[in-house]
């Protein structure tokens, strides 16, 4: 649009008389209704463009025990029907709950039974589901838990950032606990070293060794034990090399 045309349009809008009489198409009711409708469309579009927050299913979590939702299952034991998306989203809120199912266990297959039982009880407290469908539900939860772990790494972890800087990030990404975030960073750093065929530096070994233990010296889980064994092996190799050199 040229500057001249723009100037004419502004004059056309500012100089016209708004006394209720139909002097210009913009004075008509149809024109005004269109403007109102367009504003509603723009507002709706802008609202949809806002960043979508994490699904929390607050209304489902608040359901009274007497008002459980009944989910249908097909011949293969898979949930279907109108409530299937609701169930899937609810399962997602549990899978991403760092208190119920912490990512610090690293491998879904190593999740403690008591935690899995707690997660199952949370589902059956809101949905009327028979125990015969537990396997399918827990498979759905495990898949969601793995996707969540992958998302945390993709959005918050940078392989080029030193370990000390990663674990010091504030606020801790995705609302994770400090312990869980440290375990994840330690694990990802150690697996990168193995995949690249590179032995970690002495400083990295000390950091991994120090952070792979809880307060009081108790190991975090089986995966941490594996990392600890690898660290000890690397430490011995470095000591042997230093002894030969000096």
Per-residue pLDDT, 44: 44
More confident residue, 231 or 19: 19
Per-residue pLDDT, 62: 80
Task: Give the DSSP letter string of 40-109.
Answer: HHHHHHHHHHSPPPPP--HHHHT--GGGPEEPEE-TTS-EESTTHHHHHHHHHHHHT-TTTS-GGG-SGG
Q: Are 153 and 188 in contact (CB under 8 A)?
A: yes
User: To the nearest whole number, what is the mean pLDDT of the chain?
Assistant: 74
Q: What are phi and psi of 98, to 5 degrees?
A: -70, -15
For residues 213-236, average pLDDT: 47
Which of these ranges, 36-50, 84-98, 133-147, has the smallest mean pLDDT?
36-50
pTM: predicted TM-score of the whole model, two decimal places: 0.58
Determine the angle formed by the axes of helices 222-245 and 202-211, rounding to 10 degrees.
150
Report whether pLDDT(12) > 60: no
More confident residue, 38 or 17: 17
Q: What is the pLDDT of residues 52-104, one digit of tens each?
A: 445 567 788 887 778 889 999 999 999 999 999 999 999 999 999 999 999 99
Query: Which of 20-34, 162-176, 215-229 is the most confident on average?
Result: 162-176
More confident residue, 231 or 158: 158
Residue 227: CB atoms within 10 Å: 24
Q: CA-to-CA distance for 195 and 191, rounded, in angstroms? A: 6
Report whether pLDDT(43) > 80: no
Q: CA-to-CA distance for 177 and 104, rounded, in angstroms? A: 9
Report whether pLDDT(186) > 70: yes
- 225's enclosing H/E stretch is helix 222-245
């Amino acid at each position: 649009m040229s500057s001249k045309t723009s100037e004419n349009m502004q004059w056309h809008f500012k100089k016209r008389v708004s006394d209720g009489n139909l002097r210009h198409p913009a004075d008509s009711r149809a024109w005004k209704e269109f403007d109102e409708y367009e504003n509603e469309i723009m507002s709706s579009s802008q609202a949809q463009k806002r960043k979508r927050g994490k699904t929390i299913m607050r209304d489902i979590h608040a359901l009274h025990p007497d008002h459980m939702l009944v989910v249908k299952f097909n011949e293969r034991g898979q949930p279907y029907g109108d409530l299937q998306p609701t169930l899937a989203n609810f399962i997602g809120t549990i899978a991403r709950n760092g208190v119920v199912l912490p990512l610090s266990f690293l491998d879904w297959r190593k999740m403690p039974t008591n935690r899995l039982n707690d997660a199952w009880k949370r589902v059956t407290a809101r949905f009327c589901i028979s125990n015969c469908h537990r396997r399918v539900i827990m498979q759905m939860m495990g898949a969601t838990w793995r996707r969540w772990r992958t998302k945390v790494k993709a959005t918050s972890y940078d392989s080029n950032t030193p370990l000390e800087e990663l674990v010091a990030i504030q606020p801790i990404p995705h609302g994770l606990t400090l312990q869980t975030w440290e375990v994840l960073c330690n694990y990802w750093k150690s697996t990168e070293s193995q995949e690249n065929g590179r032995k970690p530096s002495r400083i990295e070994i000390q950091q991994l060794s120090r952070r792979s233990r809880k307060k009081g010296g108790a190991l975090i889980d089986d995966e941490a034990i594996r990392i600890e064994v690898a660290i000890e092996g690397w430490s011995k190799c470095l000591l042997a090399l230093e002894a030969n050199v000096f």
